[in-house]
Amino acid sequence: MSPDIEARIIALTEQLHHLNYQYYQLDHSEIPDQAFDALLAELARLEAEHPALARPNSPTRRVGGTVTKQFPTAEHRYPMLSLGNTYSETDLREFDERVRKGLEGAEMQYVCELKFDGVAMSLTYEHDELAQGVTRGDGTRGDVVTNNVRTIRNLPLHLRPAGPARPAEFEVRGEIFMPLPVFGELNEEREANGEALLANPRNAASGALKLQDSAQVAARKLRFYAYSFLMPGRSQFETHSASLEALSAWGLPVSDTWRRCATIEQVLDFVHEWDKKRFGLPVATDGIVIKVDDFRQQELLGYTSKSPRWAISFKYPAEAGRTRLQAIQYQVGRTGAVTPVALLDPVPLAGTVVKRASLHNANQIAALDLRLGDLVFVEKGGEIIPKVTGVDLEARPADSQPIVYPTECPACGTPLIRPEGEAHFRCPNDRGCPPQRKAKLEHFVSRKALDIDGLGAETVGRFFDLGLVTDAASLYELPAKAEELAQLERMGEKSVQRLVAGLETSKQVPFDRVLFGLGIRYVGETVAEKLAAHYRTIEALAAATAPELAAVPEVGGVIAESAAAWFQEPANLDLVERLRAGGVQLALTGEAPQPQSDRLAGLTFVLSGVFELHSRDELQHLIQQHGGKITGSISKKLSFLVAGDKMGPAKREKATTLNVPIIGETELLAMLPAAGETPAAPTNESPATPTSQAPGTLTQGSLF
């Protein structure tokens, strides 16, 4: 093996680690994104060609791709204890008195840190490399989620050669969280797809870390803040504050909001300062952690059975207000979901003035027994989304009447439907309901879809209201209306030129983003990418049946039914043809992967469960590369059911009833030709039936 190749891999790895640190820690980009992507692609290619040289903490691991069948568990070397919590400043003063008494009046300082609302994580570094990431679990044992942790962009996989010397092995405790802007985007996407909204960023981060496909974790854009350093024996640092400074120097992200305080009065000043100021941060916070700074003094103070005596957590109470419910507005979203919104008398809450609050659906209105004119209690769920939490029944007028949920669409008058198993009422008039049509246009031009420069949501909504556009395809007719557009208020020739150029550029947007932009219900960004990669053209996708679509990894039955139904509508097919005439990409460019053999020709497979040696996506690819077909349903015509762990019992039972052979991953791989061999085609005889075992589960505990 050429030493030049190994040297190039090492150089690229070090350069990309440095660039990641500059971008995610210092908010500085040394090279354009395109140049960074080119370096990363080169490293990925070299690692694929020379896998023995690929490092476990290569920058290529940031994008994920590892599928974990189950999360193993590991015991914490140092138990992750919970902190004592308080909402009272009096309790903080009593804590200070206990600390000073325990230290017999010796000089001491505290360190105050913001308590970020996320998931506690223990990271082990060995010889400057990230070796393991373990969740808090029950405090003594947690789940090993190292592959998922590696996707967190601001977390160094390899430490920087700076700062004080460090031990060969040490542990970093910290918080994994979802930034508020990312949380907002995720909920917007879920709302557009008709899915239930996530309650807060902490739940979103916890759920992301449970995902078995690390590529999906990478897409959630999680971040990390370190707050503790641990090593075998006595710490090389005298104080907690010195360890925080060292962690930062080594390249670990440490929030710069912490402060040393010499007295309890200074601690309370810090608490008061961040009571409102914290709402300006891009991360959710729910309190302040106060720790004795000196490690020797921490040892003297010791621990109770559950928590340290040298630290305490002050939690800000959820800020609530009481105000009057004036009206309920019913909003119609892109998928037709009708969402009730409470219109309130303005009330100050968590740093903002709240005039509107979510009511989610008809069930919540009924559960709260809301009535117009009620005095209601409002909080910010996770201190982000205002919500009505209760009613002051003592202040309710005797003649108040219950709210009657509308039976017709508030925008177009179409009778509402409520599909079985869903919480929302929906307007089925997706092609005639104005807010649905406008929302579909706004979605089409959004950043994750066509991202048309000069044509944002506000502008396209305005054009819709003026009758200049009616659907996505009509956007590409706007250049012919340039003179008319230039006469509009706040437009002008330069704005029109930019819009026309943006439309032209959007014709190069890849097929998967165009597919996402079509706004098919349940087809989010990831699903659109998978469908585009699988079918490659919109013609092939439109011709697929629901069972065939369900066989595509990460699609499933509900999404498949929705996509198949969308392509059966003549109006949607007409939209596709008009988009084709407009010049947008409706197929992936480049050649599709060429089949390697016809060994599985004429055979159909259903894949179910989690597999040991390959991801489901990889197994599907192998089957197709050797002439086989994938389907999502079990019938008498099915050749094989390939069973992995966690396969549902219903599929096994149906396959057994229909005498469909059930095989495991090993049996499937044995059907494929070995290198240089051309074995006979397989037969449907005597397949083995693998056993199932439940995977580990991820649990979240208190922070420390």
The DSSP code sequence of 621-642 is: HHHHHTT-EE-SS--TT--EEE
Q: Which of 115, 387, 440, 651 is catalytic?
A: 115
The amino acid at 391: V
Around Cβ 33, how many Cβ atoms within 10 Å? 9
Q: Is 115 a catalytic residue?
A: yes
Residue 261, annotated as binding a ligand: no
Residue 383 and residue 351: Cα distance in Å, rounded? 10
Between β-strands 285-292 and 73-75, what pairing exists: parallel, antiparallel or unpaired? Answer: unpaired
**Number of Cβ atoms within 10 Å of the Cβ of 607:** 23
Q: Show Cβ contacts of residue 556 under 8 Å, excluding neighbours closer than 6 positions.
A: 550
d(CA 145, CA 616): 20
Residue 69 known to bind ligand: no
Cα 203 from Cα 234, distance rounded (Å): 36
The rounded distance, in Å, linking the Cα atoms of 685 and 661 is: 7
Residue 291 known to bind ligand? yes
33 a known binding residue? Answer: yes
Distances (CA, A) of 388 to 286, 340, 361, 464: 20, 12, 12, 33
Q: Does the annotation flag 255 for ligand binding?
A: no
Nearest CA among 342, 299, 339 for reference residue 324? 342
Residues 461, 470: contact at Cβ < 8 Å?
no
Q: Residue 284 corresponds to which tokens in the numbers above?
A: 């959710």
DSSP string, 312-376: EEEEPPPPEEEEEEEEEEEEE-TT-EEEEEEEEEEEEETTEEEEEEE--SHHHHHHHT--TT-EE
Buried-exposed string 612-639: b where 16+ CB fall within 10 A, e elsewhere: eebbbbebbbbbbbbbbebbbbbeeebb
Known binder of ligand: residue 236?
Answer: no
CA-to-CA distance for 298 and 660, rounded, in angstroms? 65
* 6 labeled binding residue: no
φ, ψ for residue 640 (rounded to 5)? -145, 140
Report whether 36 belongs to an annotated binding site: yes
Q: Is 356 annotated for ligand binding?
A: no
The stretches of 481-614 forming alpha helices (DSSP H) are 482-486, 492-506, 511-517, 525-535, 538-543, 546-550, 556-567, 570-582
Q: Rounded to the nearest 10 degrees, what angle do helices 434-444 and 457-465 cross at?
A: 140
Residue type, 489: E
Distance of CA 445 to the CA centre of its chain: 22
How far apart CA 54 and CA 77 sit, in angstroms, is: 29
Coil/strand/helix, residue 206: helix
Q: Cβ distance 17 to 156 under 8 Å?
A: yes
34 is in an annotated binding site: yes
Q: Any binding-site annotation on 427?
A: yes
Q: Is 83 annotated to bind ligand?
A: yes
The binding site for NAD(+) comprises: 33-37, 82-83, 113, 136, 175, 291, 315
Q: Catalytic residue positions?
A: 115
Binding site, annotated residues for Zn(2+) = 409, 412, 427, 433
Q: Which residues are annotated as a binding site?
A: 33-37, 82-83, 113, 136, 175, 291, 315, 409, 412, 427, 433
